[in-house]
Amino acid sequence: MQKRITTAGLIALSSIALIGCGQSGQTDDASDGTDAPVEPVAVAPVEPVPVVDTDPVVESRATIGPRISFAKRVHDFGEIWDIERKACEFPFTNVGDGLLVISEVKPSCGCTATTLEQREFEPLEGSAIEVAFDPKGHGRQSKHIDVISNSNPGEFVRLVISADITEFIKAVPRYIKLGSVDMGKENRGVVSITSPDSGFVLESVRCNSPLMSARIIEGAGVSGPVREQDLTGEYKVEVTLSEDLPWGVFNGWITISGRGRLEPDGPVIRHSVTVSVNARLYGELRLSDDMFRLPLVEPGGPFEKRLHLTSRSGEPFSILDMEIRNPSIPTVHIRAEPIESSRESGYNLILYGESGDHRGSINGTIHITTDVAEEKELQIKFGGMVRRN
């Protein structure tokens, strides 16, 4: 501890100095040559100044509550095959001073699964969210996982996984879009199938609808009648829509399966790819779009969408009945107004309503009965979304 000199000590030293000066001096008028007696100097007592030697007061840290901290928020798998199932984990710790409660871990799509068994964590306690990724499709992809908790600040954390995906079975195109086609006729599309394995064998082609068929029409090094067991390498598959398909939109798919290897001496891999097929089948009656697509609807707000139903020949026709089936909300309605034009004959179809307390998707089907032969029963879907608060 540093030594300190008090005020009292300073005064005492001064007094000693003064006394010393008086003892060595002589008076001018001394007659006997002897020193005159010197009166001692009286020193008033001084109270000592107390010395305070304590640490400064340290204020306690403010309470921050639970706080989640991730070691990382992004994981890139790099280049992978679509036949590879990948996994990673996102470690985290509760760096706050309150109980952390994770209420939800929500992946953005079905190809991503998460595991977190414990949901409550004391301060400085942690764990890891395990993620399993089953890649679909091709090219650069990013998926996210939303973590909801009582963390302060910010109850929402988004984790991201990404990868560059290469297909083991490549289908071109992945979507066969036939557009507007005529009813009562067979309509066809073709898809090409390739694989990085030159010895790849296409084993089967399956359709999800009895009104659609598919067959292999070409394979690498094959001529004459096509036998699936002889085909290797590259293929072409023809898809045919039946002439019996009804009026309106058709959505279907085919599943193409085969086997091959990534390495010449590697294990045999069996894999499949799905190709979507879409068409709008019209006869005498035509629709301006394939469905009612509602714009984003405000909570509690109104909505309205119009489509035109017209005849190809220009001949007049009648709508006999309209019915909304399986609506997601009860406050949706449909009405038809005749088109007043000399150039076309038909109706304006108006879908309208109020969103009310509903949040999320709006969907359903409109069933229309007409007096047109072969097109008496029409089905038109509608869809949209009410903004969440």
66-119, pLDDT tens digit by residue? 999 999 999 999 999 999 999 999 999 999 999 999 999 999 999 999 999 999
Asked if residues 333 and 289 have their Cβ atoms less than 8 Å apart, the reply is: no
Name which of 183, 182, 179 is nearest 279 in CA terms: 179
pLDDT at residue 145, rounded to an integer: 97
Q: CA-to-CA distance for 299 and 133, rounded, in angstroms? A: 35
pLDDT at residue 35, rounded to an integer: 44
Name which of 120, 132, 138 is nearest 273 in CA terms: 138
pLDDT in tens, 36-65: 444 444 444 544 434 333 333 333 445 789
Q: CA-to-CA distance for 237 and 242, rounded, in angstroms? A: 16
**Any idea what DSSP says for residue 138?**
S
Written as tens digits, the pLDDT of the chain (389 aa) is 343 434 444 334 344 333 343 443 343 443 444 444 444 444 445 444 343 333 333 334 457 899 999 999 999 999 999 999 999 999 999 999 999 999 999 999 999 999 999 999 999 999 999 999 999 888 999 999 999 999 998 888 999 999 999 999 999 999 999 999 999 999 999 999 999 888 898 999 999 999 999 999 876 434 344 444 444 568 999 999 999 999 999 999 999 999 999 888 999 999 999 999 999 999 999 999 999 999 999 999 999 999 999 999 999 999 999 999 999 999 999 999 999 887 889 999 999 999 999 999 999 999 999 999 989 999 999 999 998 76
Domains and CATH numbers, the chain: 1-24+35-53 (no CATH), 68-166 (2.60.40.10), 170-282 (2.60.40.10), 285-386 (2.60.40.10)
pLDDT at residue 155, rounded to an integer: 83
Q: CA-to-CA distance for 309 and 294, rounded, in angstroms? A: 17
Asked if residues 282 and 182 have their Cβ atoms less than 8 Å apart, the reply is: yes
Q: CA-to-CA distance for 238 and 236, rounded, in angstroms? A: 7
Alpha helix ranges (H) inside the chain: 7-24
pLDDT at residue 246, rounded to an integer: 93
Asked if residues 245 and 232 have their Cβ atoms less than 8 Å apart, the reply is: no
Name which of 67, 68, 158, 165 is nearest 114 in CA terms: 158
